Amino acid sequence: MVRLRLGTRGSPLALTQAGMVRDALCAAHGWRPDDIETVVIRTTGDRVQDRALAEIGGKALWTKELDRALLAGEIDAAVHSMKDVETVRPAAIRIAAMLPRADVRDRLIGVAAIADLPHAATVGTSSPRRRAQLLRRRPDLRIVLFRGNVDTRLGKLAAGEVDATLLAAAGLDRLGRTTVGHAVPTDTMLPAPAQGAVGIEVRADDAATQALFAAIDDPATHACVAAERALLAALKADCHSPVAALASLSGEMLTLRGELLAEDGTAQVEGHVEGTADDDLGARLAADLLARAPDPVRRLFAG
């Protein structure tokens, strides 16, 4: 008998992450793997690969079909890479749990370090954050649009379409590609908000399913990702906005770091705040960054 239907995208990484959620639920509740059905839902973001997300609807392209299936009762929960989930979510949907966070860093693939890239090298990425961070350190680089799943991007790199690319370490590790690429320190490239976190959403009025997922929620990950997403909300950032953020928790003390950049990397502001998870650290950091941001950065944010 199927106890729960998990909705997910169909990429190898998305299916791996859905499997992680299934395994965690089985361990927590003594279920068998076949008690949970994995329902693959193809998203617009998967279908359209030749344009940047910001040009065709932003992060909602990863979530809207899963949202529809969830609200229609076709699935009981949806599994997401949290960095792909838009900041403002429907009131009828709630983030029920997050798995323990994986490596938050980016990995550079093609060379060992940014400094090793040849002059005017071509780097493939679809991320405004990565583009701006790269150009801030290496304005000579040529940045080109690079979309597709992990294998697609690695294939394009192997075919010589670009000299290098960047991928999230967490995704590579989950796919068993632990030796691919070189981790970029967070002091060099602060990651995307919520990078490395897998989240599960359920219907807000489904208390029973929420209770099932509460058993696998990692409180530290949930608190850190919530703070990073609160920064995005306060900034009113969108897919065009180069923004990086990382929260860390030590005992009761949460530290939230953030960075805002101009699209071409020529201007930047960074900072951090400290407090507890109950403090509105996202709003505090947003106010501080916007107050100090150069005009080319400030105008990209509506906060």
Closest CA to 136 of 192, 83, 188, 194: 188
Cβ-contact 200, 77 below 8 angstroms: yes
Higher pLDDT, 186 or 62: 186
pLDDT at 104: 98
Enumerate residues 6+ apart whose C-beta is below 8 A from 244. Answer: 129, 133, 189, 190, 191, 192, 193, 258, 259, 261
Closest CA to 105 of 183, 51, 42: 183
CATH of segment(s) 232-298: 3.30.160.40
Higher pLDDT, 143 or 59: 143
Catalytic residue numbers read: 84
pLDDT at 302: 66
Domain ranges of the chain: 4-99+197-217, 106-183, 232-298
CB burial class (10 A; 0-12, 13-18, 19+) of residue 172?
A: buried
User: To the nearest whole percent, how much of the chain has pLDDT over 90?
Assistant: 84
Q: pLDDT digits over 8-46, tens only?
A: 999 999 999 999 999 999 999 999 999 999 999 986 555
Q: Does 70 have pLDDT greater than 80?
A: yes
| 246 beta partners | 257
Enumerate residues 6+ apart whose C-beta is below 8 A from 177. Answer: 150
pLDDT at 63: 85
3-state secondary structure string across 150-182: HHHHHHHHHCCCCCEEEEEHHHHHHCCCCCCCE
- The amino acid at residue 150 is V
Q: pLDDT digits over 249-267, tens only?
A: 999 999 999 999 999 999 9
Q: Does 181 have pLDDT greater than 60?
A: yes
Summarize the confidence of residues 233-252 as an average pLDDT: 92
> Within its chain, how far is the Cα of 254 from the centroid?
20
DSSP conformation class of 128: H
How does residue 146 score in pLDDT terms, banded at 50, 70 and 90?
Answer: confident
Q: Which CATH class is domain 106-183?
A: alpha beta
Q: Which CATH class is domain 4-99+197-217?
A: alpha beta
Summarize the confidence of residues 46-67 as an average pLDDT: 61
Enumerate residues 6+ apart whose C-beta is below 8 A from 274. Answer: 253, 254, 255, 256, 281
pTM (2 decimals)?
Answer: 0.92
Measured N-to-C along each axis, helices 219-235 and 281-292 cross at an angle, to the nearest 10 degrees, of 40
- The amino acid at residue 142 is R
pLDDT at 281: 97
Rounded Cα distance between 190 and 213, Å, is 30
Rounded Cα distance between 3 and 19, Å, is 15
Q: Same CATH fold, 106-183 and 4-99+197-217?
A: yes
**Two structure tokens written together for 276:** 């507890």
pLDDT at 45: 53
Q: Does 54 have pLDDT greater than 70?
A: no
First-last CA distance in the chain: 49
How does residue 289 score in pLDDT terms, banded at 50, 70 and 90?
Answer: very high
Closest CA to 198 of 74, 69, 79, 57: 79
Summarize the confidence of residues 104-121 as an average pLDDT: 97
Rounded Cα distance between 237 and 300, Å, is 8
